[in-house]
Chains A and B, each alone.
Chain A
């Protein structure tokens, strides 16, 4: 995470996400998947194939792509279908766009009710016998049962969670890095899924995105760094107010 300053001198914290060897693996049509839209399987980071079973090698052999650590699905409209085997780059996103980031949260193991659900517990003194971090009552008398989904101690973390509506401040095309506003679930160097935001406020925020994706054919020459309009670039002199 890094600080980033706007032209008016305000500071924002930013997370760096690296797009590492992403390739489209397979196209699954609407009828095949049984959903509402077609799906594209995309694979992330390269990994050695020797630790995976032969059955897992198939998809990658068809696409002609090295074994990937993670495979995710993206729901895609028919006009945005990409041929399997095309690499995906960070330039697929543009600064000023809003993005949802999904990842597995940091695993905390088996945790008690105070850390996991934020219960208040009991006082440390004044006669409390062996009860300082316990949940207390779990149901009422009339209910005569414990409701399903009652907040109780258990394994915390290591589940998929999404941060919605994160602004993309800057894109580094040379190293394929996306600078995303705020924090993102997961530990450092964990695998993350970045998607265009589904929030209704940011529906029409993306004007002229590279559609269906950014192809590094050499037609479009992008500068090494793409900045949002409001970012203070370090090539400019210091900010002055008038």
Chain B
């Protein structure tokens, strides 16, 4: 190249590449509440479609926030017998059950040394508000073993303030390993069928080995038990996003 002066042209660095991470951003924060996914069965899909319409209708009027098993929630319900006509309960979500309109979640707390579990229906009209005080996941999907754990792991302050959270962050996984009360427990949690990772088993080695006798290693290879929900979830997500934007 020939420059005007005869000197070599001044080096101009190329423009810095601007990386717009669109793909990863979009895939991240798409949460589908588990009660929308229809169970495997021979029911007519029309029934699930109609149920979903009702659920979307309820969600438009009343906000059901995103939460997981292990997050701390505060629920206010209408009660005809209370003085203020409403009751507020704070607790950790132990399990989420049911599909469709009958979806439920169980909150657990220890109040005045008494463990209390209340099962609420997500779509019940009696629920006036659901606030997520602490949004986090745990190592298991079912925390029913908290009944046999030391009470300190199930106590939550009733007047707890909501923990602030950034919108785009990933949901933190609390890798807490819970210490249990001495045996007997309500269920034999050390057995492989429960597949619990969130307990710090202080049992002797031979007992842990003996519990492995009930393991069923062929279950993970059983093809008839496979239920691939990815395509169903995609369709339902599309439907939800379309309907909620209206």
Contact = CB atoms under 8 A, between A and B. Distances in A.
A135 B50 CA distance: 47
B128 A238 contact: yes
A50 interface: no
Interface in A144-186: 172, 175, 177
B44 A3 contact: no
B240 interface: no
B126 A238 contact: yes
Interface string B55-87: 001100110000000000000001110000110
B162 interface: no
B102 interface: yes
Interface of A is mostly: loop
A240 B78 contact: yes
Interface of B: 41-44, 46-47, 50-51, 54, 57-58, 61-62, 78-80, 85-86, 100-102, 121, 123-128
B61 A241 contact: no
Contacts of B100: 2
B226 to A, nearest CB: 23
Interface of A: 2-3, 5, 9, 11, 16, 18, 172, 175, 177, 188-189, 232, 234-242
Given A9-B124, A9-B125, A237 B43 contact: no
A11 B54 CA distance: 15
**Nearest 7 pairs of A and B residues by beta carbon:** A234-B57, A241-B80, A234-B58, A239-B125, A9-B126, A232-B125, A241-B85
Contacts of B61: 234-237
A239 B50 contact: no
B91 to A, nearest CB: 20
Contacts of B128: 238, 240
B10 to A, nearest CB: 68
A5 B80 contact: no
Nearest to B98: A3
A2 B61 CA distance: 20
A2 B103 CA distance: 11
Given A9-B124, A189-B44, A235-B61, 5 more contacts: A236-B125, A237-B62, A241-B78, A241-B85, A242-B85
16 contacts: A2-B101, A2-B102, A3-B101, A3-B102, A3-B121, A3-B123, A18-B46, A172-B50, A175-B46, A189-B43, A189-B44, A232-B125, A235-B61, A239-B125, A240-B86, A240-B128
Nearest to A14: B101
Contacts of B54: 234
Contacts of B124: 5, 9, 11
